[in-house]
């Protein structure tokens, strides 16, 4: 596909590395070397919550500069909720994602209504600047592959082996 039919192009490649550190425990390492532990269990942020936090964080970062040029917020809180849907095959996904921004200013010196100003910033952020919200809206293609190595013996080498792990991975 050439740029005349699709004006989008790869501007940069983004990525993180995730390492398993224990049962349902992982560490994500960013390109900048920042690490965050996540997973399932006490004291951990789970992957779905990380996705919701990523959405809120992306929208917040996208509006922070123009917002603080107008006035420094006294309060800037975001609540994100979504409906978790499950189909007959037990596959899950989120739908109806909703972000609610709670912003307060001590002083507002602009002539534009602060409510209208923040809502305009959110609209522009969602439509243009927030990669996370735009990716969710577009329904990005996801591909997964694996490289697997067995360093010891393997039952897979035994042709009579009939281990069946058809239950598949747990759902999030």
Residue 1 lies in a domain: no
Quote the pLDDT of residue 94: 95
Q: Are 62 and 143 in contact (CB under 8 A)?
A: no
* pTM higher than the cut 0.95: no
Is the same domain home to 127 and 70?
yes
CA distances from 88 to 42, 82, 92, 168 (A): 30, 20, 10, 15
Is the same domain home to 130 and 90?
yes
CATH number at residue 107: 3.30.300.20
pLDDT in tens, 40-65: 999 999 999 999 999 999 999 999 99
Residue 145 lies in a domain: no
């Amino acid at each position: 596909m050439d740029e005349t039919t699709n004006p989008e192009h790869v501007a940069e490649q983004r990525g993180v590395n995730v390492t398993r550190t224990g049962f349902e425990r992982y560490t994500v390492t960013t390109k900048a070397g920042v690490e965050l532990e996540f997973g399932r269990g006490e004291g951990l942020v789970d992957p779905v919550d990380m996705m919701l936090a990523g959405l809120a964080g992306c929208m917040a970062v996208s509006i922070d500069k123009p917002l603080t040029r107008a006035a420094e917020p006294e309060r800037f809180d975001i609540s994100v909720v979504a409906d978790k849907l499950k189909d007959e095959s037990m596959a899950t996904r989120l739908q109806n994602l909703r972000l609610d921004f709670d912003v307060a200013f001590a002083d507002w010196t602009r002539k534009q209504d602060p409510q209208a100003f923040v809502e305009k910033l959110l609209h522009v952020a969602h439509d243009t600047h927030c990669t996370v919200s735009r990716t969710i809206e577009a329904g990005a293609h996801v591909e997964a592959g694996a490289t697997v190595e067995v360093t010891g013996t393997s039952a897979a080498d035994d042709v009579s082996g009939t281990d069946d792990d058809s239950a598949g991975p747990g759902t999030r």
